[in-house]
A and B are shown apart, each in its own frame.
Chain A
Amino acid sequence: MWKTLHYQRALISAGLLILVSACSPAPIETAVNDPQEAKNRGTHQFNRDLDSLVVRPTATAYGTIVPGPVRTGVSNFASNLNLPGMVLNDLLQLRIEDAGANTFRFLLNSTFGIAGILDIATDAGLEERSTDFGETLHVWGVEEGVYAELPIVGPSTERHAFGRVVDTILNPLNFVIENPERSAVAATGIAARFGDRYRFSDFIDSVLYESEDSYAQARLLYLQNRRAQLRGGADAEYFDPYEELYGEE
């Protein structure tokens, strides 16, 4: 029985390997594909209201009351728990080196970093190689899909949104941690988000409340940043304002 299971697993792994190596990554889009702009703008307004009424004040309170080192610890702890899911995605993308780096990082921070509260791996030069199932889909050749601003979550694309759902379901921690610990872990994740909102308050405020068109600005920032992430270290094409303004040299 055990042997059969083992054999089946090996077969599945081999099948997956062939599948992944057979497909090539989807092209990185350059344009904004937003056919549902009107609906998205409605959601954006909702998110903005939610931010100004709830998220921003809560984040300010959290940032003011909780001391900086504690916030950093909470944030590190929450990030550390994302690592097993990232390793899974690294493997699904056949990025073995990244899988190794993230695994080592997880082990280092979970032990010497006191359950992930201290990010000693980054200090040692082993930075997080962030990934998610949206990226896995990209590597598998799935296209970006249309732009979508999601309630609470914010800017996304169809592919990224679907990836989030899969990441939540497939998170290896789900199979290891049970309630009430699971709720506690979820709570630190939320606290970490409030910490981010507080830490980057100036920037987020400037996009949400000082921009002439915060929807368009958020959409652009998200798409550019996300596409750069998927591109990895590869060079991008940048437009030449001189050619545009003053013609060919």
Chain B
Amino acid sequence: MLSISTLTRSYMVKNNVFTRRTFIAGAAALLATFNTRAASALTGSEAESLVVQAVNDINRIIASGKSENAMLRDFERVFASYADVPTVALSALGPAGRSASNGEKRAYIGAFQDYFTRKYGRRFREFVGGEITVNGSRKTKSFYEVNSIARLRGSSPFRVVWLVSDRSGKPQIFNIIIEGVNTLTSERVEIGAMLDRRGGDIGRLTADLKNAG
């Protein structure tokens, strides 16, 4: 049976982590991405503690009992500091990004952040009462996979893998895989479909992303 429930649960967690809007921070991160290639070596325990910190921040926001809008803004801040959104955005754009100008890319990344925040931020409430336990990491290629188990109210526990890299200049999360469902790949298909339907026009994609999600 296709576990729609599993997929859904997956999304709930995702929502809570990738929530942010601040464009300035994004642009700064973008610069960092291009400038600092030779980052210091990341260790497994650093990658794990980054994920633990992110999870703790999320739990704290949920426990704060603020209004939904206020929580969303807080999630955006968490998202801004823990996730390498420019890399997620450019990776989702795929080969089309290569021919784009720097200005086009910047505008696109900003719009992508808005879209991403709205899309994954809306359902963060479903995470209330949930718990994520980090249980180890593994180095692959140039990054770390941090393994965790998520337990949400009324659902069987499920596996969440966080991919952490420091190639942006500091340790950041660039992908979350929940029971096999890969955020980056999903966004790649989504942005790819949007771009195709706009004749490969990044300007139109950027404009429409502001209202999508």
Residue positions of A touching B, CB distance < 8 A? 72, 122, 127-128, 130, 132, 154-156, 196-197, 199-200, 202-204, 206, 210-213, 216-217, 220-222, 224-229, 231, 233, 235-246, 249
Contacts and interface: CB of A to CB of B under 8 A. Distances in A.
Contact of A203 (B8, B143, B197): B8
Contacts, number: 127
Interface of B: 1-8, 10-12, 33-34, 37-38, 87-88, 90-91, 97, 119, 122-123, 126, 138, 140-143, 145, 154, 156-157, 159, 161, 163, 165, 167, 174-175, 177, 179-182, 184-186, 189-190, 193-194, 197, 212-213
A203 B180 contact: no
A193 B90 CA distance: 38
Contact of A222 (B2, B5, B165, B213): B2
A204 to B, nearest CB: 6
A238 B145 contact: yes
A196 B2 CA distance: 12
A97 B38 CA distance: 47
Contact of A210 (B10, B186, B213): B213
20 contacts: A127-B157, A128-B156, A154-B2, A200-B4, A200-B5, A204-B8, A211-B193, A212-B197, A213-B193, A220-B186, A224-B185, A226-B180, A228-B179, A229-B180, A238-B177, A241-B87, A241-B174, A245-B87, A246-B33, A249-B38
Contacts of B5: 196, 199-200
A155 B181 CA distance: 15
A72 B90 CA distance: 42
A220 B8 contact: no
A213 B143 contact: no
B189 A213 contact: yes
Given A203-B7, A212-B194, A244-B91, A238 B167 contact: no
Contacts of A155: 2
A243 B193 contact: no
Leading 8 A-B pairs by shortest Cβ distance: A228-B180, A200-B8, A213-B193, A241-B91, A203-B8, A212-B193, A224-B180, A242-B167
Nearest to B94: A244
* Of B37, B126, B182, most A-chain CB atoms within 10 Å: B182
Nearest to B87: A241
Given A202-B123, A249-B167, A216 B189 contact: yes
A222 B157 CA distance: 19
B186 A238 contact: no
B2 A225 contact: yes
B184 A241 contact: yes
Contacts of A196: 4-5
A27 to B, nearest CB: 16
Nearest to A223: B180
A134 to B, nearest CB: 9
